[in-house]
């Protein structure tokens, strides 16, 4: 892609002012339309060192309301950030609806510069590029506008700019040994950039390669693209309000191998355990968990465990017995309630990315991202298109966790309708348990049949070979606790 770019074109100041006067005015007006329609925008600038990213960003933001944008400068990941999944720090910084995030570099150096300078393997490079494509597609499907600029200059021009910066005592600090080395190995970096641009140039988030030898030409092109992209996003949002897209007939296939899981109505619920045997196994398993947790920490293996199930199925008690065997400094239980206004203003996966553990630690989610395809589906908190799309998005998310090295465990705690009613009544009639039962629990119970359909769909579509579901028969809570603990232990033992 880069070899086709014309690096000789220039533009005089008078022409530049004439071309950009209206574009700048349009940009100033359009930003308010974005805010009104709650369209979140990501504008990212990548490219060669000394290509002018800083001065270009400074020019662009002069036309924006400072209350509605944020400039993100992306440095090399810290040691702490490297202990999380590759995209974790970038997911944490996506803008809320109606706001603009401008990235001075972004996630792309981790598939280009790192490939050349840190020996990132081709396999890992391509995997990260696939993750980026999924990340950007998930955001644009959710209404985000992503505008990507790559600022291109020649090796000779880059060297001249570096020399000019180095000669001035006020700017010499900006030129590092890495900059000189990158200029020296320009061709290697060019090949890495070129493949990155090719593989991540998607219809939903295309690259705009900007020749940056002449600042006037570069700025004129950037303003043109920004204004056109924003206008298109606003028009698409307005059209979707008038004529909402029809939901897909089928869920979007994720392309991952699935593991067959029985339908809920076919699960036997007569499993039970002798109370004395339960006590012995509980004590034994908690000791095993303590030993395995030490190994997880030493080998820096993260664990992400998800607990879902019927109301009153015993999730809290199950989790409590599991974590008794873990070092409290190395795990966190993440309770998931209704999303806050800030969480609703972001992609639904945002709050879960933020809660992921670092390597060697355990995160246990008491309810999770699966709310998208259960409660949000049933209660109408998302559209049919959105919840059908979520199956593939969730599989992609969990695939990224596994590629990072995480053990992903997913438990569905299952009881029948009569047992739920018995437990609800027990909670209602026991003062110290009454806080556990709410009006919402009773409303959900009335929709049992709808939830059963949704859960069967969820189990069928998201039980992948890398993150399969474990159905935990919870009619007998003690049996359920031992089964979940042993599934946890077996998965960790297989890894460590």
Question: What phi and psi values does residue 308 have, to the nearest 5 degrees?
Answer: -125, 165
Return the pLDDT at 252.
65
H or E segment and range at residue 410: strand 407-414
| Residues 6 or more apart in contact with residue 324 via CB below 8 angstroms | 286
Distance in angstroms (rounded) separating the CA atoms of residues 47 and 475: 59
What is the sign of the dihedral through the CA atoms of 415, 418, 316 and 346?
A: positive
Condensed to tens digits (0 to 9), the pLDDT of residues 34-45 reads 999 999 999 999
What is the sign of the dihedral through the CA atoms of 362, 366, 369 and 374?
A: positive
Distance in angstroms (rounded) separating the CA atoms of residues 44 and 57: 10
Residue 251 has pLDDT above 80, yes or no: no
**Longest CA pairwise span in the chain (Å):** 89
Distance in angstroms (rounded) separating the CA atoms of residues 362 and 327: 10
Reading the block at residue 25, the tokens are 């005015």
Q: Which residues of 436-450 are buried (b: 16+ CB within 10 A; e: fewer)?
A: bbeeebeebbeeeee
Return the pLDDT at 7.
92
3-state secondary structure of 471: strand
Return the pLDDT at 439.
87
Return the pLDDT at 201.
98
Q: For residue 432, name the pLDDT band (cuts at 50, 70, 90).
A: confident
Question: H-type helices in 37-146, by residue range?
Answer: 53-61, 88-91, 113-117, 122-141
CA-based nearest residue to 472, from 231, 334, 268: 268
Question: H-type helices in 326-476, by residue range?
Answer: 341-344, 350-354, 375-379, 384-404, 417-429, 439-446, 448-462
Length of the chain measured in residues = 496
Condensed to tens digits (0 to 9), the pLDDT of residues 287-313 reads 999 999 999 999 999 999 999 999 999
Residue 204 has pLDDT above 70, yes or no: yes
Condensed to tens digits (0 to 9), the pLDDT of residues 6-41 reads 999 999 999 999 999 999 999 999 999 999 999 999
Return the pLDDT at 433.
85
Return the pLDDT at 245.
81
What is the sign of the dihedral through the CA atoms of 20, 26, 27 and 29?
A: positive
Residue 254 has pLDDT above 80, yes or no: no
Distance in angstroms (rounded) separating the CA atoms of residues 39 and 231: 11
Condensed to tens digits (0 to 9), the pLDDT of residues 447-456 reads 999 999 999 9
H or E segment and range at residue 150: strand 145-152
Q: In what order do the strands lie in the sheet with 303-309?
A: 331-335, 362-366, 303-309, 407-414, 469-473
* C-alpha triplet 278, 279, 282: angle, nearest 5°: 80
Condensed to tens digits (0 to 9), the pLDDT of residues 361-394 reads 999 999 999 999 999 999 999 999 999 999 999 9
Residues paired with residue 306 on neighbouring β-strands, in sequence order: 365, 410
Radius of gyration of the chain from its Cα atoms, rounded to whole angstroms? 26
Q: Contact at 8 Å (CB) between 461 and 251?
A: yes
The residue written with tokens 């908190």 in the block is 381
Return the pLDDT at 162.
96
Give one word for 430, left, alpha or beta, with left for phi > 0 and alpha for psi -120 to 50: beta
| Residues 6 or more apart in contact with residue 104 via CB below 8 angstroms | 45, 53, 54, 57, 71, 72, 73, 74
Residue 417 has pLDDT above 90, yes or no: yes
Residue 436 has pLDDT above 90, yes or no: no
Q: Contact at 8 Å (CB) between 139 and 347?
A: yes
> In this structure, how many other beta carbons lie within 10 angstroms of the beta carbon of residue 284?
14
> In this structure, how many other beta carbons lie within 10 angstroms of the beta carbon of residue 185?
13
Q: How far is CA 253 from CA 296, 311, 458, 495, in A?
A: 33, 30, 13, 28
The residue written with tokens 């004439």 in the block is 18
The residue written with tokens 């979140």 in the block is 40
Return the pLDDT at 255.
83
Average pLDDT, the chain: 96
Q: Contact at 8 Å (CB) between 371 and 350?
A: no
Residues paired with residue 364 on neighbouring β-strands, in sequence order: 305, 333
Return the pLDDT at 437.
87
End-to-end CA distance of the chain: 44
Condensed to tens digits (0 to 9), the pLDDT of residues 51-102 reads 999 999 999 999 999 999 999 999 999 999 999 999 999 999 999 999 999 9
Residues paired with residue 392 on neighbouring β-strands, in sequence order: none
Condensed to tens digits (0 to 9), the pLDDT of residues 303-361 reads 999 999 999 999 999 999 999 999 999 999 999 999 999 999 999 999 999 999 999 99
Return the pLDDT at 312.
95
Residue 249 has pLDDT above 90, yes or no: no
What share of the chain has pLDDT > 70, as a percent?
99
Model pTM? 0.95
């Amino acid at each position: 892609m880069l070899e086709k770019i014309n690096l000789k074109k220039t533009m005089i100041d008078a022409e530049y002012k004439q071309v950009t006067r209206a574009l700048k005015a349009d940009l100033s007006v359009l930003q308010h339309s974005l805010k009104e329609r709650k369209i979140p925008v990501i504008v990212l600038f990548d490219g060669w060192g000394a290509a002018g990213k800083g001065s270009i960003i400074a020019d662009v933001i002069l036309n924006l309301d400072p209350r509605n944008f944020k400039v993100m400068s992306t440095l090399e990941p810290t040691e702490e950030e490297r202990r999380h999944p590759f995209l974790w720090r970038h997911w944490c910084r996506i803008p809320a609806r109606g706001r603009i995030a401008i990235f001075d570099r972004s996630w792309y150096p981790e598939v280009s510069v790192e490939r050349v300078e840190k020996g990132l393997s081709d396999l890992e490079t391509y995997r990260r590029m696939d993750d980026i494509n999924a990340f950007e597609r998930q955001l644009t499907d959710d209404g985000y506008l992503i505008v990507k600029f790559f600022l291109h200059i020649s090796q000779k021009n880059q060297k001249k700019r570096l020399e000019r910066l180095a000669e001035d005592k006020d700017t010499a600090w900006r030129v590092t040994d890495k900059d000189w080395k990158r200029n020296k190995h320009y061709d290697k970096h060019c090949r890495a950039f070129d493949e990155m641009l090719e593989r991540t140039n998607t219809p939903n988030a295309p690259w705009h390669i900007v020749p940056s030898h002449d600042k006037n030409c570069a700025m004129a092109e950037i303003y043109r693209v920004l204004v056109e992209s924003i206008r298109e996003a606003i028009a698409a949002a307005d059209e979707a309000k008038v004529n909402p897209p029809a939901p897909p007939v089928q869920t979007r296939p994720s392309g991952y191998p699935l593991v067959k899981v029985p339908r809920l109505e076919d699960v036997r619920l007569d499993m039970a355990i002798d109370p004395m045997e339960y006590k012995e196994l509980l004590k034994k398993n908690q000791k095993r968990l303590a030993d395995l947790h030490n190994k997880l920490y030493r080998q820096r293996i993260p664990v992400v465990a998800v607990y879902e199930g019927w109301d009153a199925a015993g999730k809290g008690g199950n989790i409590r017995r599991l974590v008794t065997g873990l070092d409290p400094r190395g795990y966190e239980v993440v309770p998931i309630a209704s999303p806050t206004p800030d969480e609703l203003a972001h992609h639904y996966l945002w709050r879960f990315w933020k809660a992921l553990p670092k390597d060697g630690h355990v995160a246990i989610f008491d309810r999770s991202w699966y709310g998208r395809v259960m409660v949000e589906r049933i209660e109408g908190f998302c559209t049919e298109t959105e919840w059908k799309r979520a199956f593939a998005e969730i599989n992609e998310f969990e695939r990224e966790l596994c590629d990072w090295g995480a053990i992903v465990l997913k438990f569905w705690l299952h009881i029948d309708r009569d047992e739920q009613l018995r437990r609800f009544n027990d909670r209602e009639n026991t003062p110290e348990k009454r806080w556990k039962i709410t009006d919402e629990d009773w409303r959900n119970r009335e929709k049992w049949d709808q939830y059963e359909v949704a859960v069967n769909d969820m189990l069928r579509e998201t039980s992948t070979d890398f993150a399969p579901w474990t159905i935990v028969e919870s009619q007998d809570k003690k049996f359920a606790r031992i089964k979940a603990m042993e599934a946890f232990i077996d998965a960790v033992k297989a890894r460590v």
